[in-house]
A and B are shown apart, each in its own frame.
Chain A
């Protein structure tokens, strides 16, 4: 308890509360235009998607191109539930999110299993295929409306619920990453053979990363369905997966705050720069290439460290001293 109420945690709690209070106050004052307000929920959903994908891409170090697939599985599960149940919202929606998350997590295991054997490009292809297969299944499944979409979903999502879920997502994934389990996941990314030699159960931790990431993607999907009131298989296409990936890569891969900011920018910018809509995928491609080149550039990395980390500053100074 004492540690939980540390200064740092109290500060974080204050930040979380203040952000919400500001949102709420602005909204109450009628500050947001209708378009702006309509963006709040998608921003939150994209943050959940980006932060969860960063667990696979940034921390486990595997390339997954099927995050929209996990999202859609969760979305359809959760929305089918609320469409068919007749319960009050405060029971239905949490139940839908839980079930959506769990079913998506089960798919996380199914996709995680090839991840145990495949690496890099091959795994990327498997996840890509998974996303496309899921989409074409929903396209042809008449129970969920087929390509016409699933209609009549109650519009339960609002920015308060989404905000709560995104805070939970960030806390869970941050805490996971900063625990012995997260260190095990990162050690696999950095050197699989060394991780095995240290006795890390690589199989378990790879699956864990996929399961947790899929769980939150599923929840994001449920929130998405209850925001629009309709689900169409075509929204969960390859482009959506790429969009989420771009957020993670732009956020610096393995940086949770980075993913949050990138998700925010990538959701908001296209709306502001309406004229650029047509070039969206082109811009994503350019961002991906530039970020990949920069991330592999030693000079840029040391620049980034100098700018962002006090520790690194000290380190640089110490190294310089040693060099003398």
Chain B
């Protein structure tokens, strides 16, 4: 049984079929790519898998559990975390606090503990700081832990989003164009980090990318979307040579 099993998932906005008949199954520990031209429906797939949109057709399972129709919060609790194409950090909070929000459910002292500063507050805050430090160090962000998130340079904001998503201890991590706006050096470095995260945390990652070369470099399998439809699916080398895919990307 694969970790993520998506069956015939679809949504339409009025007349527009943004995603239609989407099928995929992703094995535990794999790095999977989702590509396609602008407006193909990639982000919409993420919004469906995280309960931001409710599908008008189809179902999806994580670890055998049907998550269709669950709220965003419930899906997060069940183990899907994501980043956003248009970065959504907690801008007026520090870098450290951003990650600590991600850890919210994993170190839980009570409201009374927080207000009256009972011993569990100090113990748990220390654990929170420690766990947040480890995550920030993976992304080389610990030096900036006291910065406001909005004051980080763009590339680091993208990394902080990944760190924050990992803090929720997900089973599946969804990354929406993590390298957008980065220069080639930063991109190469980020891809290394993503591979490292997969190996280190034994994480399963579904990644949206525009750049086909980049995806084929690190993903074991990819799916190509075009106008909400699946165009091709399989090993990068096969898929990227598929004439249909070439046409969709380069035009007739």
Contacts and interface: CB of A to CB of B under 8 A. Distances in A.
Interface residues of A, number: 35
B104 A200 contact: yes
Contacts of B162: none
A195 B97 CA distance: 12
A184 B102 CA distance: 9
Contacts of B92: 186, 189-190, 254
Interface residues of B, number: 46
Given A179-B115, A311-B146, A198 B104 contact: yes
Nearest to A199: B76
Contacts of A189: 92
B158 interface: no
B105 interface: yes
Contacts of B102: 198
B73 A175 contact: no
Contact of A187 (B72, B101, B144): B101
A200 B101 contact: yes
Nearest to B108: A180
Interface string B165-209: 101100000000000000000000000000000000000000000
A180 B84 contact: no
Interface string B43-79: 0000000101000000000000000000111001100
B117 A3 contact: yes
Given A175-B116, A198-B101, A315-B146, A191 B73 contact: no
Contacts of B81: 197-198
B88 interface: yes
A179 B114 contact: yes
Given A193-B52, A196-B73, A198-B164, A175 B117 contact: yes
Interface in B77-105: 77, 81-82, 84, 88-93, 97, 100-102, 104-105
Nearest to B152: A319
Contact of B88 (A1, A180, A191, A200): A191
A27 to B, nearest CB: 31
Interface in B103-142: 104-105, 107-109, 111, 113-117, 119, 121-122, 124, 128
Nearest to A315: B147
A278 interface: no
Interface string B144-162: 1011100101000000000
B76 A196 contact: yes
Interface in A188-226: 189-191, 193-202, 208
Nearest to A190: B90
A237 B101 CA distance: 38
A115 to B, nearest CB: 17
A4 interface: yes
Nearest to B50: A197
A324 interface: no
A187 B76 CA distance: 15
A7 B117 CA distance: 15
Contact of A194 (B77, B89, B97, B114): B89
Interface of A: 1, 3-4, 172, 175-176, 179-184, 186-187, 189-191, 193-202, 208, 254, 311, 314-315, 318-319, 322
29 contacts: A1-B119, A4-B117, A175-B116, A176-B114, A179-B111, A179-B114, A180-B107, A180-B108, A180-B109, A180-B124, A181-B111, A183-B93, A183-B97, A186-B92, A186-B93, A186-B97, A190-B91, A191-B89, A193-B72, A193-B84, A196-B73, A196-B76, A197-B72, A197-B81, A198-B76, A198-B104, A199-B104, A200-B101, A200-B104
Given A180-B114, A194-B84, A319-B151, 11 more contacts: A179-B115, A180-B107, A180-B108, A181-B114, A183-B104, A186-B92, A186-B93, A196-B72, A198-B165, A199-B104, A318-B147
